[in-house]
Amino acid sequence: MSEKNDTRLQEFRQLQKEIRGSEDYLVVGIDVAKDRHSAFFGTATGKALFRRLVFGNDREGFERLILQAEAMRVQHGLRKVVFGLEPTANYHKPLGEYLITGGHRVVLVSAKSVKRNRELLDGRWDKHDTKDSANVADLISQGKCLYYEYPELRLRELRGLLSLKRRLKRQEHGLRVRIRNHLIAQYFPEFDRYFGRSESEGLAIVRWCLGPSVIASLAYDQFARWVAPGNRALRQQERLRAIWQKASASIGCEVGEAVRFEAKLMVEGLRQIREALGETDEKITDLCIQFPEYEYLLTIPGFGPDVSSKVLGAIGNPFRFERGNQVLKMAGLDLVAERSGKRSDGVVPVISKNGKAELRYALYQAAMIASSRDREFIRWFTNRLRGRQREKGIKTRMRVKLSAKLLIIAWTVMKKREPFNPDYLRIE
């Protein structure tokens, strides 16, 4: 962690402790938009100093904001300034980076908090830019704000590539589902049961001979060479012959030129996306190797390159978390329960699922692998199941619990920069 980020983190923790009712702070709440932002200037005691400053999303506008903030600070005898932003898409990032690199205090206010606090300002649901910026300032004055993490460039690049990978994965899944549920289901439904067994030959059939009539018009040897050139195993030959035989009696709809064109575009698009995914994975690996913590994450059972990169990108600087429950909240693996009334004592807590869904999924996959392949984890998992084998869903709950433990272990090895130690499993 850089010295600058360490200082910012300490300043944020100090701000949360002292800002409520403080007479030292000028609080600037900013409602972020695409082209123009709206700022509200007030004190932590609730006094409004300047209700609305509209400034552009450019350097001139940012300089105008800084100038106005300095004028308000000097005129009212305040010592410190804190800027608060509500994260709106990516529109807040240029302003946040400009303020942070300029040495200013910057915090975030969650959109959920803004929504819930809006009606408390005057008891109404009305929404407009002036009120939203005052709402942001009001939340900061109460200390209900979040640390604005601004990590080093390589970590920001890693997170950007992980986000790109998520989008590519969604596109890949969408195209694959459309090929199967739109093209094959309409034009060659008998082929669907064979499509997933060898997707390379399945895509070749969709690309070159989707229509069953085209396949039926070919001799088997010609069809096989067309779809799967080269040497073919016995099982593959049996599969191709079954497809070729079913084509002659298919109930599929008639295939026209437009359908062939659509099939061609979709198959080629799917292959391009998969090539892009491969290149993205290589870039992610190249970036991860630059982090010393990455090699320690790989020592954890169940953690391969994919899971390790996601955990590394999510945690980033391990020292920004003071306690393990903060790490669990980030992933949505913290336990919550609605306890009210006579039955409050019997409520069973569940995970909140308010954090990073992709990280939870990756950790659950790691837990499945570790609990079935690693000796220490198999022993831990078996001990948790002992005497509770017949409980409904107990294996899933224990794997979720193991997911949370794996995240804490990952956080620990990142902080200590040491390989995985089986003793971590014995710590509750």
pLDDT tens, residue order, the chain (428 aa): 456 777 889 999 999 999 999 999 999 999 999 999 999 999 999 899 999 999 999 999 999 999 999 999 999 999 999 999 988 888 999 999 999 999 999 999 988 888 888 777 666 556 665 688 999 999 999 999 999 989 999 999 999 999 999 999 999 999 999 999 999 999 999 999 999 888 888 999 999 988 999 999 999 999 998 888 888 888 899 999 999 999 999 999 999 999 999 999 999 999 999 999 999 999 999 999 999 999 999 999 999 999 999 999 999 999 989 899 999 999 999 888 777 766 666 777 889 988 899 999 999 999 999 999 999 999 999 999 998 888 889 999 999 999 999 999 999 999 999 999 999 888 76
How do 335-336 and 350-351 pair as beta strands?
antiparallel
The domain boundary residue, chosen from 128, 150, 172: 150
Both 296 and 205 in one domain: the answer is: no
Both 10 and 141 in one domain: the answer is: yes
Domain that holds residue 20: 3-150
Question: What's the DSSP call for residue 126?
Answer: -
The domain boundary residue, chosen from 284, 309, 331: 284
Question: What's the DSSP call for residue 356?
Answer: -
Both 299 and 327 in one domain: the answer is: yes
* Nearest alpha-carbon partner for 140 in 122, 114, 179, 178: 114
CA geometry: angle at 410 spanning 409 and 415, to 5°? Answer: 95
Both 167 and 44 in one domain: the answer is: no
The domain boundary residue, chosen from 254, 284, 314: 284
Any idea how long the chain is?
Answer: 428
Alpha helices in 179-304 (DSSP H): 185-187, 192-195, 199-209, 212-216, 220-227, 234-247, 257-288, 292-297
Both 38 and 142 in one domain: the answer is: yes
CATH of the domain at 248: 1.10.287.4070
d(CA 18, CA 147): 15
Both 233 and 349 in one domain: the answer is: no
Both 190 and 234 in one domain: the answer is: yes
Q: How far is CA 61 from CA 65, 94, 422, in A?
A: 6, 12, 55
> String of b and e for 282-294 (b: at least 16 CB within 10 Å)?
eebeebbeebebb
* Domain tally, the chain: 3
Both 143 and 161 in one domain: the answer is: no
CATH of the domain at 120: 3.30.420.140
Both 127 and 228 in one domain: the answer is: no
Q: How far is CA 38 from CA 96, 364, 416, in A?
A: 14, 42, 43
DSSP-assigned states of every residue in 43-55: ETTS-EEEEEEEE
Both 164 and 60 in one domain: the answer is: no
Which three-class secondary structure state does DSSP give residue 88?
coil
Structural tokens at position 142: 């109460």
Q: Match 């093209």 to its residue by tokens.
A: 183
Both 235 and 308 in one domain: the answer is: no
Both 280 and 322 in one domain: the answer is: no
